[in-house]
Structures are given as structure tokens and as C-alpha cells.
Amino acid sequence: MSRSRLPWALWRAQILAILRLEMKKTFINRRGLWIYFLAFAPVLLYAFHSFVQSKHGRRADLGEDTHIFAAVFQFFFLRLAIFFGCVGIFMNLFRGEVVDKSLHYYFLAPLRREVLVVGKFLSGLLAALVIFGASTVLQFATLYWYFSWNSVQEYLFHAHGVEHLAAYLGVTLLACVGYGSVFLAGGVMFRNPLVPTVVVLLWEAVNGFLPGVLQKISVIFYLKSLCPVGIPEAIALDRGSPLALIAVNPAPASPATAILGLLVLSVVVIALSSVQVRRMQIDYAAD
């Protein structure tokens, strides 16, 4: 079938139908409340920080807070909140349906399973983006809330503040794409979600200690390369120290390479998931 003859309009309509079906499940789900808590914990932290700072009338230090944001973003938000949030959202896209014994309804529709995988991935991505994107913006707002409007304007428009925010949003998007694809595959290939979660967590954690080639087969390598602000404490350390290896890429990828690398990695993982779903059988008793 030539590319122009592929039924794109049908696939688009089917993906939209999947999104409509999945939205309720991904957003309004008691089992997923912990994801909201994880995502918005830094917002609460910054709100508390701003409240204490303004109450005690301490001198605001934009540079210091920008570094605090960079450290919390890299160490907590990327490596824990988005990581485990994506475990909760994407791992359940197929696994949750197997547990609920409702996956067969998708398999009994006149729908290519590859389209189902893409539709489910996009629905998870939409949910993750809304949750973690909103959190990123709110973190930014609450951290700088106690500064004077003039200082904030100065930072936003004359000290790359807007660019930083855009970069953090971009990194959030790419983190959701990267971890989302990995955990979608994990949910398709493993019965026990703990196994892929622990394996990926360890792989990402030791990424800085691995040889350069292996570092590139990870999500965090590309995300670190794209973070707009470095962590001064880590940069100041000796290159061989554990903190520096975790937080700093000795040979960071260029933004274009990082974005492309992450997207290629995700497309490959989604393609492998599609092959697996194409072969998948419904045997709820065994699951």
C-alpha cells in the first residue's frame, strides 16, 4: 500500500475515539491520586518557601532560587515525580485494562493494534503533559511569587526567564515522551510492573557512571543535556565525584541531538510495543 493510500483519516478518527475513551480513565482515577500529589509536591514546597520568605521579610535572591529550582527540577521532578508519574500513567494503559479485564473490547474492534498503541500512548502523554506541565508552570509561579513584580519582569524578559520556563516545559514534555514510551512498553511486556520500574530506575540512576555509548541509551542523558540551568554545587565538584556524575553530562548532547535522540528512542520503543501488542493474546486467567 503506498503511503498516500494509507487510511490516515480513519486512523485519526480512531485515535480521537481512543483519546475520548481513555481520558476519563487517566484523569479521574482514584488509583492515580498519588500521581497528582507527586506532581504538585514541589508547588506546595515553593509556596511554603515563598510564604516563609515573605513573612520574615528576607532578602529575595533570584539567582539562588533559580539554582534551587534547577536542583529540585533535576533531582526530584525529573527523576522521581515524572519518572514514577509515568510509571503510574503509562504502565497502566495496557496492564490496567488486563487487570480490569476490559482490553478485549479494543481487540474486538476493527482497529489496527498499532493504531491502538499510538492512541493509548497519546492519551497517556496528554494526561502526563497536563499534570506535569501545569506543575512546572505553577512551580515557576510559586517560587518567584514573593519577588517584586519589577524583579520578576527583569528576570523573565531580560535574564532569560521566559526561555528557562520554555526549556523546562520542553524538558517536561520530552521526559513524558521518553519515560512514557518506556513504561508503555514495560506494561505490555511485563506482568509485574515492579520489574521494569526497578530495572529502568537503576539504569537511569547509574547512567552517569556508564560508558558514553551506553549513556545514550537512556532518557535522563538527553534530559540532563537540555536542562537550561546547571546545578552549581555539582558543577563545582570534581568530575569523578558521584554527585557530578549524576547531575552533569561530561559530554552533553547538543539540543538538536538530544531532542532527536530522545524522539528516536521513543519511536523505536513504541514500535517494539506495537509488535508485542500485535502478538498479544487475551488470557486474563493467566494474568
Partner 1 sequence: MNTQEADARIVFDDVSKFYGEVLGVNRVNLSIPAGITSLVGPNGSGKTTLMNLMTGLIRPTRGRMSVLGISPDEPERLFHKVGYCTQFDSFPRGLTGYQFIYSYLRLSGRAHGVADRLACEAIERVNLGEAAHRRIAGYSKGMRQRIKLAQALSHQPSVLVLDEPLNGLDPLIRAETIALFRRLAEEGLNVIISSHVLHEVDAISDQVVLLSNGYVVAEGQIHGVREEIHEQPLQILIRCNKPGDLASQVFHQDCVVEAKIHPDGHSILLKTRDAERFYLLLNRLAQNGINIESVAPADDDVLSVYEYLIGTEEPSK
Q: Which residues bind partner 1 (CB under 8 A)?
A: 10, 13-14, 16-18, 20-21, 24-25, 28, 100-102, 104-113, 279, 281-284, 286
Q: Which is nearer to partner 1, 58 or 101 (CB)?
A: 101
Task: Identify which of residues 32 and 178 has a Cβ nearer to partner 1 in the complex.
Answer: 32
Is the CB of residue 180 less than 8 Å from the CB of residue 263?
no
Q: Smallest distance, Å, CB 93 to partner 1? A: 13
Is the Cβ of residue 73 or residue 90 nearer to partner 1 in the bound state? 90
User: Which residue lies nearer to partner 1 by CB, 58 or 104?
Assistant: 104
| CB closer to partner 1, 127 vs 226 | 127
Q: How far is the CB of 283 from partner 1 (least distance, A)?
A: 7
Q: How far is the CB of 184 from partner 1 (least distance, A)?
A: 18
**Residue among 219, 245, 244 at smallest CA distance from 233:** 244
Name which of 42 and 119 has its Cβ closer to partner 1.
119
- How far apart are CB 285 and partner 1 at their closest, in Å? 9
Q: Nearest distance from residue 95's CB to partner 1, in Å?
A: 14
Instruction: Work out how close the CB of 185 gets to partner 1 at its nearest, in angstroms, rounded to a whole number.
Output: 21
